[in-house]
Chains A and B, each alone.
Chain A
Amino acid sequence: MDAQKVDLFIMTNAKFFEAHHLGWIREQLIQLDDAQWPTVQMQQYKDPTTLLIVSLLGGSLGIDRFMLGDTGLGIGKLLTCGGLGIWAIIDWFMIMPATREKNMAAFQNLLA
């Protein structure tokens, strides 16, 4: 695919992925067929910053994990009051990397 298009995609979507994944994403997109471009553009990614805010406010009810699609862990957090409050604090720091990992998984699903 056109390198310019790919670079534009990387620039607009860089915040959704881990920095060390960006090189790999760029390579994959350049090898990608032009016909698949609309599907790549249609894919919605979750914003790590939004998830962080949700985690700060509703972390002890597990709302952040529910939003991320980790329903099982969400129920675990809800039933234990955010893992006795400790898991909720750990997730303040873990939720942004976890969101980026989820986005990466979604991107890989798209290519498969």
Chain B
Amino acid sequence: MSRSKLYTIVLVACCAGWLYIGFQFPLNQEGQQHDVTLCVIKQVTNVPCPSCGTTRSVIAMIKGDFASSFQWNPLGWLVGTMMFIIPIWITFDLIFKKGSFMYTYQTTENWFKSKWVAGPAIALVLANWAWNISKGL
């Protein structure tokens, strides 16, 4: 994949993420329960998917409530941090005409292809999924 294609995909994904957070934020005020979800799996099967609760988790994180953020979905910590860091990183890369993000992406991708990393990662995602289902998100 070329550098410009990767940067475009990631930037568009981050922008869409922030827009969605901006749309969901007012709906997630104290004591309010909302029913807006885009998750296909949850709509069809009524069972939460591995990443259900990430939006609520990121919103809790923005409010500074890291404990309940973890309770909603630990993946929210990862997604929230990524959404915050990656646009800054890519802007830095574009200004100074470097490829440090591209390099890190490829290194991480290769790292995840080894079974010693992929195995535990899959196990963690499955465990988190089981927790999501038991929480009834």
Q: Which residues of chain A have a CB within 8 Å of any CB of chain B?
A: 60-61, 70-73, 75-76, 78-88
Contact = CB atoms under 8 A, between A and B. Distances in A.
Given A72-B108, A83-B16, A87-B13, 17 more contacts: A60-B39, A61-B41, A61-B50, A70-B109, A71-B109, A71-B113, A72-B109, A79-B54, A79-B75, A79-B79, A80-B17, A81-B54, A82-B40, A85-B38, A85-B39, A85-B40, A86-B38
Contact of A60 (B10, B20, B49): B49
Interface in B14-32: 16-17, 20
A73 B10 CA distance: 9
Contacts of A61: 41, 49-50
Main secondary structure of the interface of B (DSSP, over half): helix
A105 B108 CA distance: 21
Contact of B52 (A70, A72, A73, A81): A81
Interface string B79-118: 1000000000000000000000000011011001100000
Nearest to B108: A72
8 contacts: A61-B41, A72-B109, A75-B112, A80-B17, A80-B79, A83-B13, A83-B16, A87-B13
Interface of B: 1, 9-10, 13, 16-17, 20, 38-41, 49-52, 54, 75, 78-79, 105-106, 108-109, 112-113, 125
Nearest to B20: A84
A71 B1 CA distance: 12
A29 B38 CA distance: 47
Contacts of B38: 81, 84-86
B19 to A, nearest CB: 10
Main secondary structure of the interface of A (DSSP, over half): helix
A32 B20 CA distance: 52
B39 A81 contact: yes
Nearest to A87: B13
Contacts of B51: 78-81
Contacts of B109: 70-72
Contacts of A83: 13, 16
Contacts of B13: 76, 80, 83, 87
A73 B9 contact: yes
